[in-house]
Amino acid sequence: MAEMQHLSPEAHARLAAELKDLTTRGRIDIADKIEQARLLGDLSENGDYHAAKEEQGK
């Protein structure tokens, strides 16, 4: 089982803010990037599309 790690209140607040940003604004930004890349056509050789999908997986 994983060892329990303790966070300072500041670290917890920073991580909570980062999570909120990634699950709100971040998701919208990535979805927009994917949509724009799809509009460019063939996805098999579309670097913008693949980069956006990779970012989405993080």
In the chain, where are the structural domains located? 26-58
Whether 37 and 49 have beta carbons less than 8 Å apart is answered as yes
Token digits of residue 47? 């670097």
Whether 30 and 56 have beta carbons less than 8 Å apart is answered as yes
Instruction: Quick: pLDDT tens for 1-49.
Output: 689 889 999 999 999 999 998 888 878 888 888 888 888 777 777 787 7
Token digits of residue 44? 């098999």
**Predicted pLDDT at 58:** 64
The arithmetic mean of pLDDT across residues 50-57, rounded, is 79
